[in-house]
Structure 1
């Protein structure tokens, strides 16, 4: 049987949100990497892209006064596709494109599920200064000696967030990755959203507030809220199992 040809298409950046327009000066960029599937050469899921736009709009609104622009990355294919790691290539292309458009500004990679894994892998791009990984998909590495790499996270600000009741992506695997990353990079922390699932919808307001606090603090080096500072400073396991408090974001930066 003839093997099905992989369609040839290019990655793209979605419409910019935030500090846009002729008079706007961009000082930072967030690239949103949506969730996908383990194997697929279909086009990106519109549902996953729409979910990423929700976070993109929140970050753009919060960061507009400081010159933040957000883009949702439109993958070539919705699948990771084994060793091809298509979304990682697309994330690196997107970082290159951000530099081409906006110059030498810090870039944050913010992903969900498969997109979170792509963000973690692509953190070695020289423009990337931070990574936000929400419910990262980190499949078991059966039969392989090496788990997902962490060396590329050195020198980056890294936040992982995972629901304790996530049945689609294993929160224990994100803890193990964070634990390995913390050994080589002190600027790694992880929050647990108790009783929440993969979509982090039960505590959406708190998760969005945490994401905005971390991203704006990392991109503009303006400091974090007390809970994030405490998580970064605490040794494992405390700083990697930090509970996200109900009402987070109601009174930040005290």
Structure 2
């Protein structure tokens, strides 16, 4: 197995910065130790979202896209989880204590985000068509943190029903959680791509700029298919 390292793309912050950071986590495969290349579609899918977020919050937060070492989740190895943990610690090292982290993940990136959401700096997660095979992935999230899950009704790669169940499960634990069902959308966020982007932008802003006291316990009513 070739030696590879995860990489961060975007502004990582200067020493002593109190700026929050948004970390984008791309999708991948069930099993693969092939290195992630910048031309892989799973990675490229997050590039326009990163650009959009930089335009939306770039004056107030750093936006960073993580490229994993390997393309696969790889069972108990959970390869991207170690990379995401490394990314969070690397980014926080240049920041003052208390800096917030928001995670935005698509597919396997949504599973990775949930796996590291228990880090005390993580204030919120945006999971786009997440790969949550057990429906319990959100058990890592702290009460009062924020969660948006968006899933298409025609997704054939990951299970929207399990995403909905995991969102409700998080809400029962005190996470401020919202599930949005995207009517007619598949897995790759192509159908009404503007809507995926707008929901992501608004959720990230909600985490970054809403005062902690505004957090509400329980689940917001699930949106109708849109």
- Is the 2:14–2:94 Cα contact (8 Å) retained in structure 1? no
What TM-score, normalized to structure 2?
A: 0.87
The 5-angstrom pairing of residues 111-122 of structure 1 reads 111-122=105-116
Which of 26-35 and 74-83 deviates more?
26-35
Other structure's SS at 2:45 match: helix
What TM-score, normalized to structure 1?
A: 0.78
Question: Once the two structures are superposed, what CA deviation does each residue of 1:126-149 show, in whole Å capped at 9, x if it has no partner?
Answer: 21111010000123x5xxxxx544
Kindly state the Cα deviation for residue 187 of structure 1 after the two structures are TM-superposed.
Answer: 0.5
- Is the 1:153–1:185 Cα contact (8 Å) retained in structure 2? no
**Aligned pairs, how many?**
219
Q: Distance in 1 between matches of 2:120 and 2:14?
A: 26
Residue 83 of structure 2 is aligned with which of 71, 83, 90?
90
Change (3 A) 1:21 1:185: closer
Other structure's SS at 1:39 match: coil
Please list every run of 5 or more consecutive structure 2 residues that lacks an aligned counterpart in the other structure.
none
Which of 189-198 and 174-183 deviates more?
174-183
Other structure's SS at 1:73 match: strand
Question: Once the two structures are superposed, what CA deviation does each residue of 1:104-152 show, in whole Å capped at 9, x if it has no partner?
Answer: 321111100000110011101121111010000123x5xxxxx544331
Residue 2 of structure 2 is aligned with which of 7, 23, 40?
7
For the aligned residues, what is the CA RMSD? 2.4
Q: Distance in 2 between matches of 1:126 and 1:108?
A: 11
Q: Distance in 1 between matches of 2:178 and 2:196?
A: 14
Q: Distance in 2 between matches of 1:195 and 1:26?
A: 41
Q: Distance in 2 between matches of 1:233 and 1:154?
A: 11
Q: Distance in 2 between matches of 1:59 and 1:103?
A: 22
